[in-house]
Amino acid sequence: MAKIAEIIAKSKKPTFSIELWPPRSPASEAKLEQALPILEKLHPTFTSITYGAGGSTRERTHDLVLRIKRETSIEPMAHLTTAAHKKSELMLILERYRDAGIENILALRGDPPLNGGYLPNGELPHAIDLVNLARAVGEFCIAVAAHPEGHPDSPDLETDRRMLARKLELADMAVTQFFFVAEYYFRLLDDLDRLGISKPVLPGIMAPVSVKTLERMAQLSGARIPDKIRERLYRAGESAEAIRAAGVEIAIELSEELLKHGAPGIHVYTMNEASTTVEICRGLGLG
């Protein structure tokens, strides 16, 4: 048994986990091949594997999840989205994971493509519907997404918190969207506590290595970029390595503050960058 929520609950020290993308091209496949053995040496608690908009990486996600389960020491958590899917398609995907021994699922509604393209709705309109379906299919550990600053589609923060609490009444844990102010995370926990929810919520951390990419991803996620973060990245100059180093420092400082005040672990959005992730892990003394 390797259910992530149970591992987090029993861990005597903060956990360290990572997110990976399935490759979309020969170049990205080569990059992942180089990164995987390096990341495995960090002994992450688990790795979540993303699912492309509208299921665009459906088979690549499935294949990578199974490969990591069978060929590495890392426990995989498979992302799955409702957008652009029929209920029967989602059921089949869940059954395949169940039969392959995959125990951990991250249930999501799904986001629009990074290029701003249209993403059609699926038969299950919300992530909570996917949580219910996964519960019916197998004995999965089910995670859901949390947005410390509120989901961009929610009318207000209070509504967002109530919806998240409803999801967590059924799911086992949550992983947050990236953010840059620790107060947002702890305010999220306080709000959930008032709603009677005390399940694990892992903070998602991203080292900003490009101002342009950061701004594009922040626009989609609803995350705000504090002026001081922008200024630090701009002060780093035009060198990609200097910007990367500044981004790693930002990620480590935020993670240290989160862990100091009780976060159960850190989940790093690696963007399949091994060196950046290694520096964050070792900077926190978790590797």
> What are the structural domain ranges in the chain?
4-283
Active site residue 256: no
- Tracing tokens 């910007």 back to the chain, one arrives at 243
Exactly one of 19, 149, 273, 279 is catalytic; which is it? Answer: 19
Residue 55: DSSP 8-state? G
- pLDDT band of residue 283 (cuts 50, 70, 90) is very high
pLDDT digits (tens, 9 = 90+) for 64-106: 999 999 999 999 999 999 988 899 999 999 999 999 999 999 9
pLDDT digits (tens, 9 = 90+) for 189-217: 999 999 999 999 999 999 988 888 888 77
pTM over 0.85: yes
pLDDT digits (tens, 9 = 90+) for 103-161: 999 999 986 555 555 556 779 989 999 999 999 999 999 999 999 999 888 999 999 99
Tokens of 116: 């701003």
64 with 49: CB under 8 angstroms?
yes
Tell me the C-alpha distance between 112 and 145, whole Å. 15
CATH top-level class for 4-283?
alpha beta
- Of the candidate ranges 31-35, 181-185, 223-227, 278-282, the one whose mean pLDDT is the lowest: 223-227
Give which of 73, 47, 71, 51 is closest to 61, Cα–Cα. Answer: 51
Tokens of 246: 């500044």
